[in-house]
Amino acid sequence: MEKDAHNFSRNFLWLQFNDLQECYLQKRRQLANKPHNPKEMDKNMIPREGYNEGLVDFQSVLTTFTRYSRLRVMAELRIGDLFHSANIVSSIEFDRDDELFATAGVSRCIKVFDFSTVLNETADMHYPVVEMATRSKLSCLSWNNFAKNHIASSDYEGIVTVWDVNTRQSVMEYEEHEKRAWSVDFSRTEPSMLVSGSDDYKVKVWCTKQEASVLNIDMKANICCVKYNPGSSNFIAVGSADHQIHYYDLRNISHPLHVFGGHRKAVSYVKFLSNNELASASTDSTLRLWDVKDNLPVRTLKGHTNEKNFVGLSVNSEYIACGSETNEVFVYHKEISRPVTSHKFGSPNLHDSDDDVASYFISAVCWKSDSPTMLTANSQGTIKVLVLAA
């Protein structure tokens, strides 16, 4: 077994050799471009301290990248009727303390589960602790980072709703969007602020203390995703059907701060790894990383298949998870352009034909904060708790 593990690790690293080499060279270039004290320079014009720093940075990447090689199933549950078509989970999100998670999708219902119960009980069925019926199919959820019991939803009728999970009632309903709203996001720094994007080409900023939108951005294409910068409620990223990501300072919306181009099809998700690092997903089957501070493209990630569906995107400080139209979950390290590992969902129905199985796709993913654990859901309403393992 030890020999097999060693051979696997060696082959795994060899397959990623080009990316690892580029990562190392990139670290060296970054250091070489920094201003240095001439007294500290060696013959290669790179400071000895900087050279060591570069090796430490690369070693850190190598350590985190090789730490895991597979995804292990920790728990599994179904939230839909096995023989019912309305099972697609469009959104799955942990609350601020990672104690609860909520699911929503085409079933017109928000279901809230206790994570520890799902993880620790071996029951065949897991029941939600809260269930809230909605008028329309749901596209996105976002928990409030301050009010633990508040969660926002966007739906196919264009309605943005803020719910109180404790009372199971809506707190606010915003009906200004004229078409389907694809995305909603609470600010991480201002508890009352949230943003939404819609097929009506509009981004709207809302305040839960007011009944109408406080800001509107008119764009030239369908809005597929919106996200607040986690470090400031002044900045948002907007992904749209024009293949671009628009990065706005909400204090001056006359034009975006940056426009990131490179995707060949619609941008379906945008997520921040940090205040300066942005990840985007597109139906061109790629993920891209961007530096929003210096307005730079960083890296393109490839390996999954995504040509028509919303397949989910989630990030933590080091890893990026996304779904695939091959019914698989893929995990990338942010410094490496090929996947670290993947996990394929099986069919929940023994009577499914090969054509049925081929049409299943992953529809939502969510990391549990900065841990190796994630929630994943697919178009058949199956949810799995997966954890990165060696």
Res 8: pLDDT = 42
Domain count, the chain: 1
Q: Is 120 inside a domain boundary? A: yes
Q: Is 2 inside a domain boundary? A: no
| Angle of the 17-32 helix axis to the 2-15 helix axis, nearest 10 | 60
> What is the C-alpha separation between 205 and 280, in angstroms, rounded?
21
How many whole angstroms from its chain centre is CA 125? 27
pTM of the model: 0.86
Interval 85-99: pLDDT, tens: 568 999 999 999 999
Question: What amino acid occupies position 250?
Answer: L
Q: Is 32 inside a domain boundary? A: no
Q: Is 334 inside a domain boundary? A: yes
Q: Is 41 inside a domain boundary? A: no
Report the 10 Å Cβ neighbour count for 368. Answer: 17
CATH number at residue 335: 2.130.10.10
Tell me the DSSP string of 177-209.
Answer: -SS-EEEEEE-SS-TTEEEEEETTSEEEEEETT
Res 69: pLDDT = 87
**Mean pLDDT score, 242-265:** 97
The parent domain of residue 216 ranges over 71-349+357-389
* CA neighbor of 134 nearest in space, from 104, 164, 97, 172: 104
* CB half-sphere exposure, 185, CA atoms < 13 A: 24
Kindly indicate the confidence band of residue 78, based on its pLDDT and cuts at 50, 70 and 90.
confident
Q: Is 379 inside a domain boundary? A: yes
Interval 288-299: pLDDT, tens: 999 999 999 999
What is the residue-averaged pLDDT of the chain? 87
